[in-house]
Amino acid sequence: MTTTIGIAGNQIIQSADIFNGNYVSYTPQGFVTAIQKAGGLPLVLPISAEESAAAYISKIDKLLLAGGQDISPDLFGEEPHPKLEETNRNRDLFELALIKEALKQHKPIFAVCRGMQLINVALGGTLYQDLSLNSEWKIKHGQQPTQPQFATHGIEIEQGSTLYQVFGGSYRVNSYHHQAINVLAPSLKVTAKSSDGIAEAIESTDANQRLLGVQWHPELRFDIDTKEFALFDYFVNQL
């Protein structure tokens, strides 16, 4: 039986000269292709009312949270820092509702970049609104202009973690974020870090709660790195 993967979608507004500023719901193609290649059936869940989250989750087997905008800081008790970038409150609230329902309905969650950070917020943690607020920060975590297919910094992975099964004890990843986990939610554990201590992967402390988050972007490298594809294969077929 095919595993149905719900991908929480994002939204952009096309330029005014294209359909007069048409709103577009989307997800990066890499997620769609990687899930299909792993034998899953991807479905994009458009930003919707919080009340619809239960119905969406009931129709999928697993949930994927993608990257994108910064997370509204009031959701973790802070005012916006001057270095905060674009936020989308409608997306934040809908995805928080999806997380709540996925946990309630015992559906596995795989989260990438912003998605990993949002899980931490949903479960009671906080974020650095910008890495400059972390006194230990010393690695470039936004690798532009280097292309995303190239891994640019190392991570160390906890032995015995889910991620260790796929990547082993160390790995190199691409990196596109200026925010990061600050205070970790009580029900989570960090299972990979960069050398400056930034959380690069999280899992649940409860073995029955199937949850995995990574800070990098495997959807941009799975077609050239077999371990990155193995991560999607694990999500679709085992998590």
Please give the torsion angle defined by the CA atoms of residues 17, 220, 139 and 201, in that order, rounded to the nearest 10 degrees.
120
Give the span between the Cα atoms of 184 and 190, in whole angstroms: 8
């409860």: which residue's tokens? 206
- The distance from CA 145 to its chain's CA centroid, rounded to whole angstroms, is 21
Q: Of 95, 101, 113, 153, which residue is the catalytic one?
A: 113
Domains of the chain by start residue, with CATH: 4-237 (3.40.50.880)
Which three-class secondary structure state does DSSP give residue 65?
strand
């910094």: which residue's tokens? 153
Residue 202: name the closest of 85, 93, 120, 129 by CA: 120
Q: Of 95, 101, 200, 219, which residue is the catalytic one?
A: 219
The question of whether 78 is a catalytic residue gets the answer: no
pLDDT of residue 18: 63
Give the span between the Cα atoms of 170 and 154, in whole angstroms: 7
Report whether pLDDT(136) > 70.
yes
* Partner residues linked to 12 by β-bridges: 24
Report whether pLDDT(193) > 90.
yes
pLDDT of residue 196: 94
Report whether pLDDT(69) > 90.
yes
Q: What percent of the chain has pLDDT over 70?
A: 97
pLDDT by residue (tens digit) across 18-36? 666 678 899 999 999 999 9
pLDDT of residue 113: 98
Give the span between the Cα atoms of 116 and 99, in whole angstroms: 11
Q: Of 95, 200, 217, 228, which residue is the catalytic one?
A: 217
The number of residues in the chain equals 239
Mean pLDDT of the 140-158 span: 95
Q: Output the six-digit token pair for 214.
A: 């990574």
Give the span between the Cα atoms of 117 and 51, in whole angstroms: 22
Mean pLDDT of the 37-63 span: 98
Per-residue exposure over 96-111, b if at least 16 CB sit within 10 Å of its own CB, e if not: bbbbbbbbeeebbbbb
The question of whether 219 is a catalytic residue gets the answer: yes
Report whether pLDDT(15) > 70.
no
pLDDT of residue 24: 87
Mean pLDDT of the 29-54 span: 98
pLDDT of residue 13: 74
pLDDT tier, 150 (very low <50, low <70, confident <90, very high otherwise): very high
Report angle CA 43, 124, 134 to the nearest 5 degrees: 100
pLDDT by residue (tens digit) across 86-100? 999 999 999 999 999
pLDDT tier, 12 (very low <50, low <70, confident <90, very high otherwise): confident
Residue 8: name the closest of 86, 128, 118 by CA: 118
Mean pLDDT of the 212-217 span: 98
* Inter-residue contact 130 to 114 (CB < 8 Å): no
